[in-house]
Amino acid sequence: MNKEVSELWPELAWIENNDLREKTAKTWELALQRSVLTGDDLKRIPFTLLCGPDLKVTFMDHKRSVVHIAKDAGNTINSMYNGELTVDMDVLISGAILADVGKLLEYELDENGKAVQGTYGKYLRHPFSGVSLAEECGCPPEVCHIIATHAGEGNMVKRTTEAYCVHHADFMTFLPFKERLKV
Ligand SMILES: [Fe+2]
């Protein structure tokens, strides 16, 4: 696992299966190689442009928080549903870490060096490009399913419990910012 990825994602250490942890990290390494953005950019840029450039929640703050919230949800389900509803924590954590990895391919730099949505991102939103990157790195289908279904596109799909956890963790921390614009 390279240093840039391990510094961006301390949560990779929560994945117990060595093979899955490595494949998850490798997917981020590949995305960074192909992206106009660097790890430092991700720790600096706001996670949504909806609230202007001064938002104090960075891209990484949001992505990491989704992993933390989804993990808490998965642990609660595993401890309180008497085995009737179970969550594979490795799959959940890997999928949560990879949910937005495809966003790194959505950006291009404009003539002023500012990151804007590019042609690739216009045609293939990050749930699709994320699956493509993850499969290239050998991630299993149950993890790719979480990437594929974490956003609105996934409303057409029968989600796994792990995918529901990631979807809701993502949207509960995004929609309130979007709602602010309506006030
Ligand atoms: Fe997303």
How many domains, the chain? 1
Q: What is the pLDDT of residues 118-153, one digit of tens each?
A: 899 889 999 999 999 999 999 999 999 999 999 999
pLDDT number for residue 183 = 60
Q: How far is the CA of 103 from the centre of ligand 1 (A)?
A: 7
Q: How far is the CA of 96 from the centre of ligand 1 (A)?
A: 10
Q: How far is the CA of 45 from the centre of ligand 1 (A)?
A: 16
pLDDT number for residue 103 = 95
Q: How far is the CA of 146 from the centre of ligand 1 (A)?
A: 10
Q: How far is the CA of 164 from the centre of ligand 1 (A)?
A: 13
Specify whether the CB–CB gap between 162 and 95 falls below 8 A: yes
Q: Which domain holds residue 89?
A: 3-180
pLDDT number for residue 54 = 81
Q: How far is the CA of 99 from the centre of ligand 1 (A)?
A: 6
Q: How far is the CA of 82 from the centre of ligand 1 (A)?
A: 31
Q: Which segments in the chain show pLDDT lower than 50?
A: none
Going by C-alpha positions, the residue among 133, 181, 174, 118 that lies closest to residue 150 is: 174
CATH number of the domain residue 49 falls in: 1.10.3210
pLDDT number for residue 110 = 82
pLDDT number for residue 151 = 97
The DSSP string of the chain is --HHHHHH-GGGGG---HHHHHHHHHHHHHHHHH-S--HHHHTTSBS-STT-TT-S-BHHHHHHHHHHHHHHHHHHHHHHSTTSS---HHHHHHHHHHTTGGGGGTEEE-TTS-EEE-HHHHHS-HHHHHHHHHHHTT--HHHHHHHHHSSGGGGGS---HHHHHHHHHHHHTTHHHHHHTT-
Q: How far is the CA of 19 from the centre of ligand 1 (A)?
A: 24
